């Protein structure tokens, strides 16, 4: 596989949503048009960008492999853990090791911070910092009488472009994911199975977060790793993981409900799929070619979920 084609949603994860009997083909839905692509897409060619994790070395050369290779271990382990817990019964306790929980926590946190919806926000923050700094420098040079007329003219016309290298967001991407993974470990974990005959979908921005109902007025003020935030990640077409706030549970209640599986009805399956569709930047992915799903996807045109930086 081309090393320059680097995924922000891993292929191994996306294979959990492929068409039954297919190893790499998946149906792609476009939120902007409400259309299902005429032919299935290969997971090798979706949710990726050219040299997405490339960094600049001190000598000016491009390092396009170090960051990509660093993800290999967790991207390899996560699908194995998902397969291990993919066959569950209602109210059954999910038994995985603490190391496996740590892998799922970090994978979830990374899946929220490695996507363009997060990284673009970091890069925009850097752009604003540079713009403010440039404005101060221009004002100072004007007062000092040292600002060249040609530069002043370009600045007034808005013709001075500020280009931010995308690698500036990599450090924040990793640091936020590491902190977020610790937060997720302390939440209540629920594993959900779809209603019979239904399946979960995923997207190009698969992690959804919100405040639970009693804290809903805080929705615009909290991030995904806030103590009261509820985080959702579809693990496969047959399994979904919800991280819920643990603050409102006693220790005995926490021990009773944590790491349990629940079989959803049709309404709840639809509601959780709506979360995934709402969070998507543009594309929703499913194992099914379903016109009703296409209509549902089209209802969320223009919506997406960002992490506010």
- Average of pLDDT values for 267-277? 97
Tell me what pLDDT residue 308 has. Answer: 59
CA–CA distances in Å: residue 76 to residues 25, 70, 211: 19, 11, 31
What residues have CB less than 8 Å from 56, skipping those under 6 apart?
62, 63, 165, 167
Tokens at 174, concatenated:
């990793």
Question: Which of 308, 242, 306 shows the shortest CA–CA distance to 272?
Answer: 242
Rg of the chain in Å (alpha carbons): 22
292 neighbors 31 (Cβ within 8 angstroms): no
pLDDT on residue 126: 72
Give residue 21's pLDDT: 96
Domain regions of the chain by residue span: 5-298
The predicted pLDDT at position 221 comes to: 66
Per DSSP, which regions of 183-304 are E strands? Answer: 188-193, 202-203, 208-210, 230-236, 239-244, 260-263, 283-286
Mean pLDDT of 229-240: 96
Q: From CA 32, how far away is CA 207, in angstroms rounded?
A: 19
- pLDDT for residue 159: 82
Query: How is residue 138 written in tokens?
Result: 């221009």
- The torsion angle over the Cα atoms of residues 182, 101, 239 and 226, rounded to 10 degrees, is -10
Any idea which residue has 């190391």 for tokens? 99
72-87 pLDDT tens trace: 999 999 999 999 998 7
Would you state the pLDDT for residue 216? 65
Q: Per-residue DSSP letters for 151-167?
A: HHHHHHTT-------GG
> How high is the pLDDT of residue 29?
98
List phi, psi (to 5°) of 201.
-110, 165
Question: Which pLDDT score, from 0 to 100, does residue 301 have?
Answer: 93
- For 199-224, the pLDDT digits (tens) are 999 999 999 998 777 666 666 667 88
Percent of the chain whose pLDDT exceeds 90: 62
H-helix segments, the chain: 11-14, 66-70, 72-84, 98-113, 116-144, 149-156, 170-185, 251-257, 266-279, 291-298
Is 263 in contact with 8 (CB distance < 8 Å)? no
**pLDDT at residue 220, rounded to an integer:** 61
The pLDDT of residue 218: 62
pTM of the model: 0.90
What pLDDT is recorded for position 309?
55
């Amino acid at each position: 596989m081309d090393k320059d084609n680097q995924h922000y949603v891993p292929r191994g994860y996306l294979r959990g949503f492929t068409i039954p009997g297919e190893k790499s083909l998946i149906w792609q839905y476009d939120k902007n048009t409400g259309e299902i692509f005429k032919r299935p897409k290969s997971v090798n060619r979706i949710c990726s960008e050219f040299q997405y994790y490339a960094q600049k070395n001190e000598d000016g050369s491009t390092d396009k492999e170090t960051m990509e290779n660093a993800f290999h271990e967790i991207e390899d382990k996560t699908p194995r853990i998902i397969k291990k817990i993919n066959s569950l019964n209602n109210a059954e306790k999910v038994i995985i090791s603490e190391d496996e929980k740590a892998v799922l926590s970090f994978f979830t946190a990374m899946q929220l911070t490695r996507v363009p919806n997060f990284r673009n926000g970091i890069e925009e923050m850097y752009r604003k910092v540079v713009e403010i700094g440039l404005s101060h420098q221009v004002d100072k040079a004007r007062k000092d009488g040292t600002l060249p007329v040609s530069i002043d003219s370009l600045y007034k016309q808005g013709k001075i472009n500020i280009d931010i290298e995308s690698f500036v967001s990599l450090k924040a991407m990793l640091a936020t994911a590491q902190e977020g993974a610790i937060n997720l470990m302390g939440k209540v974990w629920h594993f959900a199975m779809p209603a019979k005959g239904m399946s979960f979908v995923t997207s190009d921005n698969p992690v959804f977060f919100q405040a639970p109902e009693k804290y809903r007025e805080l929705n615009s003020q909290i991030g995904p790793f806030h103590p009261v935030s509820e985080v959702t990640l579809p693990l496969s077409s047959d399994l979904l993981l919800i991280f819920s706030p643990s603050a409102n549970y006693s220790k005995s209640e926490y021990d009773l409900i944590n790491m349990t599986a629940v079989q959803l009805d049709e309404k709840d399956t639809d509601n959780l799929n709506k979360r995934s569709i709402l969070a998507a930047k543009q594309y929703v992915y499913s194992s099914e070619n379903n016109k009703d799903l296409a209509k549902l996807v089209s209802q969320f045109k223009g919506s997406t979920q960002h992490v506010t930086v």
